[in-house]
Structure 1
Amino acid sequence: MELRQMEYLVTLADERHFTRAAQLIGVSQSGLSAGIRGLEQELGTSLFTRTTRRVEPTEAALALLPHARALLDGERAARDAVVHATHQVSGTLRIGTEQCLGVVDATALIDRFHRRHPQVEIQFRQAGSHDLIDALRSDTLDIAFVAAAAHLGTLPHQQLGHEDLVLVCPPGHPLADASVASWEQLAVEDHVDFDPSWGVRPLADAAFESRGMMRRVRFQVSDVHTLLEFVDRGLGVAIVPRHVSNKPQAARLVTVPLPHDAPRWEVSVVQSRKAGSDSAAPHLMELLADAPACRGAVVVRADAAIPASAG
């Protein structure tokens, strides 16, 4: 068994979808499938069952997963220990992120950065993407993970990944059996949505406005779990990134695709243009380039691109 195969196993078990797992790892879907098949042949057992909609880990895969995660954690910890012993980084790093971005695990990334560079003082802020972009422009943040692409301007940024937007509604809702939820159908529904500073809210608002439609946002929240609870209680429907529909809190809800022309959820890491040469932000970017969920990310160059070399 190879570490790469362990990464394939863990990512596919987490995503339950070959296409999304392959995108996150940065390999082709056929390459991911071949890697899983090779591991199954080596172990002499099936690790996943495939259906038309989902991929489910077998009992054998569930038994292997803790060991696979431990191997991957150990490999990263070993490299972190070498960096810590040979490179001392100090100073302050001001980080911001929107809640539940899906494409990147910011908490795990910050934890690893702290263990690798314990002398750096980390200041963390959680807020909506548009508020975080304003903070970067005013130099009150050094780096932020956001779900907004239209307002970045010349801020140096790197796109980490993207997802489809989907509708979530309670079982028994008139749209629950729809193959696609049309804009006309959605325009007459009561909606649960986030504060306008969150990345997904302007996307949904613009989708309706561009079609000359108005929608009713009856419940405005600033927390993913509160949004899902409102929907679960039948108080409205919600347009969310696909990973939100896969959360345990959404297990009872029905996920319905949006039309093919729906906007796309895009996650980027953005850096302040005023960050000095002594900023610790590049060292966080080194870990980001090494993060399994962000390999294969598209570098979007503004005036000055963020370095993304492996650490």
Structure 2
Amino acid sequence: MDDDPVETRHLEFFVAVAEELNFTRAAQRVHVGQSTVSAGVQALEREIGAALFARSTRRVSLTSIGRDLLPLARSALTALAEMRALGIREHQHVQGTLRIGASSHLQALGLPSILGGFQEAFPMVDISLHASPEGCSGLLEQVRRGAIDVAFCGLPPPAPLDLFSHVLRRQRLVALVPAQHALAGRTRISLTQLLEDDFVETAVGLGTRHVVDHWLSRKGLGRRISIEVPDENLVGDFVAAGFGVAVVPEDAAGRDTLLLRVQPAGAVAVVPLREAIVWDLSVIARYRGGSPALDALLGHLSLSRADH
């Protein structure tokens, strides 16, 4: 067994692989390269003194020691997050302005509740929201230039190596089809079944388009896009109007969301996808610089740029 202390990131990599049972998906989840995740898990195995995963060319599974370690690793990460939160609460006098960039799916991102909790904890911090016509790619450039302090958006792969990023939540994508569509009544369909249809999409860089484009590219598949809309909340209206089908985050397709407030009511149907195509909400900031208000927000989210 190695005498070096166990690193927090090694535990995070281990939990990600244990939950995904796939090194590639785990790397995408924590926004680092697959080789970094593999090296981190191997380092943890040296520190523990035992193999945590049984690996083959086709599958990854936990060993008995890995299964025993998983709840302990989760508890350790939770405890570290709670300790950071305690430190932040000691500095609730923080004040200033926090410039936040966000994509327009604010409801699906859960951003109002995130920022509401932060505002309650740090009432002396003023929040200003900013958008970018280029979507997440534009927000990343604004973070790099210092035009905004932090961004919340669906980060396209691969993760930028020059910026701090952390996945806050994951959502599966679902299909949105006209109510009279032949697949509207199915309990589950494959994305490939929709490729004969035209698609309603957002502009490149907006919404979940990069996720779908990336998935199709990896499969060597393509699709026809009938129209690009400037606002994700208009996708449902154009599907209802017969312009095609769409793929959206499952939370965005909830009953009370703007995306499904189409006329006439019931003109579109939501159908789950068989493939686990996910959209990650990430928080992105620079590694260096920033402000006490930014550190307070990251602390409120139980994150620290020093960990990365």
Distance 1:120 1:102, change over 3 A: closer
| Aligned pair partner of 1:259 in 247, 266, 274 | 274
Contact 1:92 1:279 in 2 (8 A): no
Which residue matches 1:129? 136
Deviation at 1:265, TM superposition (A): 1.0
The normalised TM-score by structure 1 is 0.59
Which residue matches 2:114? 109
The one-letter code of the counterpart of 1:255 is V
Contact 1:103 1:267 in 2 (8 A): no
Deviating above 6 A after TM superposition, structure 1's stretches of 4 or more consecutive aligned residues are: none
Distance 2:252 2:209 in 1: 14
Distance 1:115 1:258, change over 3 A: closer
Would you say 1:170 and 2:185 are equivalent positions? no
Which residue matches 1:139? 146
The normalised TM-score by structure 2 is 0.60
RMSD: 3.0
1:94-131 residue CA offsets vs partner (Å, 9 max, x unmatched): 11111225565323433454455454343320232221
What 5-or-longer segments of structure 2 have no aligned partner?
1-88
| Aligned pair partner of 1:222 in 230, 237, 253 | 230
Deviation at 1:274, TM superposition (A): 3.4
Deviation at 1:157, TM superposition (A): 2.1
Contact 1:159 1:268 in 2 (8 A): yes
Contact 1:103 1:162 in 2 (8 A): no
The one-letter code of the counterpart of 1:143 is V
What 5-or-longer segments of structure 1 have no aligned partner?
1-82, 290-298, 307-311
1:181-215 residue CA offsets vs partner (Å, 9 max, x unmatched): 33443222111111211241011112222232221
Contact 1:98 1:126 in 2 (8 A): yes
Distance 1:103 1:228, change over 3 A: closer
SS for the counterpart of 1:156 is: strand
Contact 1:103 1:160 in 2 (8 A): no
| Aligned pair partner of 1:186 in 194, 210, 220 | 194
Distance 1:91 1:183, change over 3 A: closer
Distance 2:158 2:237 in 1: 30
Q: Where do 1:20-35 residues align within 5 Å?
A: none
SS for the counterpart of 2:292 is: coil
Distance 1:247 1:275, change over 3 A: farther
1:221-262 residue CA offsets vs partner (Å, 9 max, x unmatched): 2323211111122221100111111143527221222232x4
| Aligned pair partner of 1:274 in 275, 288, 304 | 288
Contact 1:156 1:305 in 2 (8 A): no
Distance 2:243 2:100 in 1: 35
Distance 1:124 1:192 in 2: 27
Percent identity (aligned): 29
Deviation at 1:89, TM superposition (A): 1.9
Contact 1:145 1:270 in 2 (8 A): yes
| Aligned pair partner of 2:205 in 197, 211, 214 | 197
